[in-house]
Amino acid sequence: MSASRSVVIASAGSGKTYTLANRLIGWMVSRLRVEGDPGCDRILASTFTRKAAGEILDRVLEHLAKGAVDSTVCSQYAPSMGLDPAPMPSELSDVLTSLVRRIHRMQIGTLDGFFHRIAHCFSVELGLPEHWTIANEYEEESLRMETLTALLDSPDATFVGELLQMVQQGREQRSVIDVIRNQVWGRSGAVHLYRLTRLRPNAAEPWFWLEPDQHGDSLDGGRTLDEQTVDSIARSMTDTDMPLTQKGQERSRYRTAWNRLITAVRAGDWEGFLSDSLVRGGWLTDGRFDRVEVPEELLELLRPLVDHARTECIRVRHRQLVSSLGLLELLEKQYRIIQNRRGVFTFADIAQRLAEAGLVQHGALGSLWFRLDGIVRDIALDEFQDTSRSQFDVLDPIIEEIFGGIGSEEDRGFLVLADPKQSIYAWRGGTSALVDLLEGRHADQLEAAAPLTRSWRSSQIVLDAVDSIFANLDANGVFGFESMPSEARDGAVEWAARYENHLAARDLPGFVEVLVPELPEDVAPKQQHAVDLAVDLVVRRQREDPGRSIGVLTSRNDAASRIVTMLRQRGVEASEEGSSTLTDSTVVGAVLSLLHLADHPGDLRSLFHVSTTPLWPWFDREPLAASDRSDWRRIAQAVSLAMRERLSIDGYGTCMERIAERLRPTCSETDHLRLGHLIELGELWDAQGAGRPAQFVRFVEGSRRSSVTAAPVQVMTIHKSKGLEFDEVVLPELGRELIRQPSGFFAWSESSIDLPQRIVPAMPKDQRIAWPTIVDECYGTLFREQMQDALSVLYVAMTRARHALHLVLKPHVAKKDGEPRNMLTQEGLVRCGLPGLDEAMQAHLELQDQRVWFRGDPEWYRNVALDPVPRPASPRRPQPDPGFSSRRTITVTPSGHERDEITIDSLVDRNDSEFAMLRGTMLHEYMALIEWMEDGRPSTESMETVDRRISMQIGRPLCEKARRSGREAFSSALAQPAVVQRMSRSAYGDRPHDHLEVCNELPFIVKTEVGEFNGRIDRLVIGRRDGVAIWADLIDFKSDAASLETLSEVQDRYRSQLDDYRRAVQVMLDLSPEQVSARLLFTGPGIDAPLS
């Protein structure tokens, strides 16, 4: 067999998921033909998000199922499977059967998820504590603040201020926290750059590149002068004549500037010296000052001083970099100490440790495959343009083994799907240059693959607008402005090198328009004006065509939250996707005010807020007297004390539930869902050991929940819209600058796939021109990358639209020289890219009609059916049950009516109740080993296999106490006659059948008339006659304490859950309600309790 290997460039909407799913199927069918086993569990398929990974798996299952039952569909899928001969339906059926049986071993996910698995297998080698888990946002922020606090309390505290000052580069910011969050730990902050340099053989080298040599010579010809020479030149400057005017008078501007330079030289102000307009004009740029050439005798005096100033300024920057490196080393060391103590890590932390440890090495992958319990023989990487260098370093040995390892010429498949035009995660280290690297390195081993350019998503009208902007970038007027750096122009040319015009695969109606707000002449246009018009548009469209899916895409999270609020105030329900905090609900805001008051009894503002809500009667208080505040402080202290008492007695989860009961009658649907999320967070806070009310407030404020409603209008950042599509897209924030000055350090490397070779300190423009290396190489590369990123972001935003694209721009404003303002922005690209738009805006056509430009049919929607929008399920209060926790799923007794996702990561070494939960999990796993008691008890070897599986899932060995307790619980259960009888064939001797089938730990997902159900059934016994199911008995193991006296109460508690499961079994087996029975089997007291 010769598996296919290719790199496919796939434009937006061109069917990447379809191609990827069919290629995976092709590999499995090919392996089935040769080896008799499709090898479903030996394929690694990775994409950028868990949602996208789920869609890939869904598509694989869908294609297999449809192709297995319909030969015509099978033939349609065949071309993209790359098989010769074409697959047969029977082959797809065999692959589907194998895949479903081993679906738990399928490796379709994210790179973060794959690295997480590796880290769990190499916890000791990576220095991870035994109880480690992935941090949530609150824990991540808490880690960082604790790290900084620890440093501030240490003898090295003075260095913290130096780092903050360095990363701010003189920019005063109101909040130190903002500086820490953005410039220190932010997307491209100092910590991120430091970690990248740690991956180099010489980690310190990028931080020392500005160091002058032993002779004082420095970057770009800098040369140190001794003090006597400097003094001598300064004295000579005082006796120098200045150029004369045509009237023979000394030029006053020259004399003023010259005296300013003398003062700077004598004061040692070398940064001021280099920034002076006379030095910049006369020496560093065009040789002119005050509209005349600088005389040679002046330049002769300036030349040695400029070289000296270069060295002195670079020396300062070098010291700053070295100091910052030292502090960052301390910061990282302290951060890792706290991490190991608390046992929480981010995905980025895990990827970093894997890359540093070098555990995945070329030619030595045997240990990796052994610990992962399976080899990766084929690999498919989606969205490869967003892969970072540190991620690639971990993947590279696997890729090289596929191309050059054992058996690689026979049976190892490789697929990369990428679109450099959609590379929008450069701030995470993602680089499309890795695509070129792969193509160049393996050119002779890769099959030729035609790019995917036909869009199955968008109408041709939308695609034509996209092509108008991006297919002719070299002719776009934005790049003709003098203020556009030449390196940015070069970056645009590189970006467009692979661009091909788009063709729609389907004949869809479409519409593109540009809207501009009409403003009075005395009002300066602001971004908010465009946002207001966009909100008006969405409100109108929802009235004209209610239910139509609309995506409002912004450049910032805060803008998305603001737009959601504005739409809700206008009566349009909108959901904020991806980064939605609970505080977007006014009801949650009232609860947080109450909690803040509980921790701060003197907070009268929170007191007043609570007094205006339905929560006030809960405290049996009369309305606050607004005219007399003399008693407010006493009331605040009493309410604060009462709330703290309730929290200490009932816990946060119960308190939040009781608060929700009071607030629900006045809630909107969004508020109702938010209260459900608040209850979930309260339960989680209790499980983590709780804390002060103010800490819980910060926890809530830092927690995010996606898809709070299923509203047809969704608001999100452009980055979060990646992979999504909408009937209509509205872009209200196109004022993003194409080129931005860095706010702190940035990294430079000769190639974007290389690790940093230089850490470059941010420098003012009037200073950095003194160093060609910095201004041309470092800043030039930065501007080129920024331009490419800005183009990709705009491309992604525009290509989310299926039918309609609404671009909202600010009105035209000219500078004094006539050049339009704000043109070096995405807005400028649109203005100069769409034919005739710039002329229309300069003519202010918005004064006649706010729609200044359009193409297509404005009433396109009249002949396009609406897609159904699913309603979300309300969050339920999670109730812990034996065998469950909140982080990683273990297949034990499911109970959607009692809890949400279940796991056991956090159950060991916490407290006795959690230990009991782990014991319950082990009991369920052991019970799953039994088919019939008549066949004997499980062997010791099979039980040890269960122990190892649980150990792998919790990332550490089971302690002897846990293992012994689980075995004792299992032995005790099998000592109960009722348990043994129910697990025996004889229990069903009175039921008709010719064959009994047992399904242990049976996963399912079904749709019934009352909704969609998914879960896992502990044990299902099916009675069959002539191969057809005629009855089923559903058994749910319970390790609860129960007695005959309390049995009825316990049965009622679980009845709703089992009723749902009975309906699911009815659907799966096509049985009537009378043919499906259900029972609770209490393993402790040995009670077999059928449910009527």
The count of other CB atoms within 10 Å of the CB of residue 657 is 18
CA angle 487, 179, 322 (to 5 degrees): 70
Q: How far apart are CA 72 and CA 35, in angstroms?
A: 27
Q: Is 1041 exposed, middle or buried (0-12, 13-18, 19+ CB in 10 A)?
A: exposed
- Same domain (yes/no): 83, 227: no
In a domain, 899, yes or no: no
What's the pLDDT score for residue 906? 32
> Residue 157 contacts by C-beta under 8 Å, 6 or more apart in sequence?
151
- Last-in-domain residue among 307, 334, 364: 307
* CATH number of the domain within which 794 lies: 3.40.50.300
In a domain, 429, yes or no: yes
Contact 134, 298 (CB under 8 A): no
- Last-in-domain residue among 670, 702, 734: 702
In a domain, 890, yes or no: no
Length of the chain measured in residues: 1092
* Maximal C-alpha separation, the chain: 124
CA distances in angstroms from 1092 to 637, 1008, 1031, 1032, listed in the order given? 53, 21, 15, 14
Q: How far apart are CA 845 and CA 842, in angstroms?
A: 8
- Same domain (yes/no): 197, 249: no
Q: How far apart are CA 971 and CA 58, in angstroms?
A: 40
In a domain, 406, yes or no: yes
Instruction: Read off the DSSP letter of residue 584.
Output: G
**Is the backbone peptide bond immediately before 858 cis, with ω within 30 degrees of 0?**
no
What's the pLDDT score for residue 156? 61
Contact 79, 43 (CB under 8 A): no
Residue type, 505: A
Backbone angles phi, psi at 938, to 5 degrees: -60, 145
In a domain, 896, yes or no: no
- Same domain (yes/no): 387, 333: no
Q: How far is CA 574 from its chain centroid?
A: 21
DSSP reduced 3-state for 382: coil
Q: How far apart are CA 15 and CA 456, in angstroms?
A: 7
- Same domain (yes/no): 497, 399: no
In a 13 Å sphere around the CA of 447, the CA atoms on its Cβ side amount to 13
What's the pLDDT score for residue 554? 94
- Same domain (yes/no): 533, 396: no
> Residue 715 contacts by C-beta under 8 Å, 6 or more apart in sequence?
551, 552, 554, 560, 563, 564, 567, 574, 575, 576, 577
Helix pair 296-342, 137-152: axis angle to 10 deg = 110
Residue type, 1011: G
Mean pLDDT by 10 residues, the chain (1092 residues): 78 92 94 90 90 91 94 92 91 94 90 90 89 84 82 65 56 51 70 90 94 89 92 92 89 93 94 91 84 90 93 91 88 91 90 87 82 88 88 88 62 89 83 88 87 93 96 90 90 90 94 94 88 95 91 89 86 71 78 90 86 86 76 88 87 88 78 83 78 84 61 90 92 91 86 89 85 92 93 95 96 76 90 94 92 95 75 40 31 35 32 58 87 90 80 60 85 92 93 92 70 76 91 88 78 83 87 93 90 82
Contact 455, 12 (CB under 8 A): yes
In a domain, 244, yes or no: yes
* CATH number of the domain within which 983 lies: 3.90.320.10
Strands (E), 479-534: 503-504, 511-515
What's the pLDDT score for residue 859? 93
Going by C-alpha positions, the residue among 794, 130, 248 that lies closest to residue 469 is 794
Strand pairing report for 503-504 and 1076-1082? unpaired
Q: How far is CA 186 from its chain centroid?
A: 14
DSSP reduced 3-state for 818: coil
Rounded (10°) CA dihedral 1009, 1013, 1019, 1020? 30
Query: Tokens in use for 883?
Result: 């065998």
Contacts 24+ apart (CB under 8 A), 597-601: 597/636, 597/639, 597/640, 597/643, 598/640, 598/643, 598/644, 598/647, 598/693, 599/640, 599/644, 599/692, 599/693, 599/694, 599/697, 600/640, 600/694, 601/636, 601/637, 601/640, 601/641
Residue corresponding to tokens 């980025």 = 348
- Same domain (yes/no): 340, 354: no
- Same domain (yes/no): 186, 249: no
Helix pair 486-495, 779-798: axis angle to 10 deg = 40
Contact 1079, 1091 (CB under 8 A): yes
- Last-in-domain residue among 407, 426, 452: 452
What's the pLDDT score for residue 186? 66
Domain encompassing residue 163: 133-212+317-345
Going by C-alpha positions, the residue among 771, 763, 760, 770 that lies closest to residue 324 is 760
CA distances in angstroms from 325 to 170, 743, 968, listed in the order given? 19, 17, 55
Residue type, 272: G
- Same domain (yes/no): 229, 92: no
Query: Tokens in use for 1087?
Result: 């009670």
Q: How far apart are CA 481 and CA 554, in angstroms?
A: 26
What's the pLDDT score for residue 520? 87
Q: How many domains does the chain have?
A: 6
In a domain, 893, yes or no: no
Q: How far apart are CA 398 and CA 416, in angstroms?
A: 14
Going by C-alpha positions, the residue among 751, 756, 761 that lies closest to residue 203 is 756
> Residue 454 contacts by C-beta under 8 Å, 6 or more apart in sequence?
14, 15, 502, 503, 504, 505
Residue corresponding to tokens 């909407």 = 13
Q: Strand 1011-1025: give its sheet, edge to edge.
A: 995-1008, 1011-1025, 1028-1038, 1076-1082, 1087-1091
Q: Can you say whether the dihedral through the CA atoms of 103, 105, 106, 112 is positive or negative?
A: positive
What's the pLDDT score for residue 897? 39
CA distances in angstroms from 311 to 169, 223, 272, 505, listed in the order given? 19, 6, 14, 61
- Same domain (yes/no): 192, 228: no
In a 13 Å sphere around the CA of 282, the CA atoms on its Cβ side amount to 28
- Same domain (yes/no): 602, 643: yes
What's the pLDDT score for residue 268? 93
The count of other CB atoms within 10 Å of the CB of residue 627 is 5
One-character DSSP codes across 57-125: HHHHHHHHHHHHH-HHHHHHHGGGGT-SSPPPHHHHHHHHHHHHHTGGG-EEEEHHHHHHHHHHHTTTT
In a domain, 462, yes or no: no
Strand pairing report for 726-731 and 550-554? parallel
Going by C-alpha positions, the residue among 922, 929, 928 that lies closest to residue 908 is 922
Q: How far apart are CA 711 and CA 666, in angstroms?
A: 20
Strand pairing report for 758-760 and 746-748? antiparallel
- Same domain (yes/no): 176, 242: no
Residue corresponding to tokens 């991120």 = 192
Q: How far apart are CA 923 and CA 690, in angstroms?
A: 29
- Same domain (yes/no): 403, 492: no
Q: How far apart are CA 635 and CA 436, in angstroms?
A: 68
Strand pairing report for 378-381 and 43-47? parallel
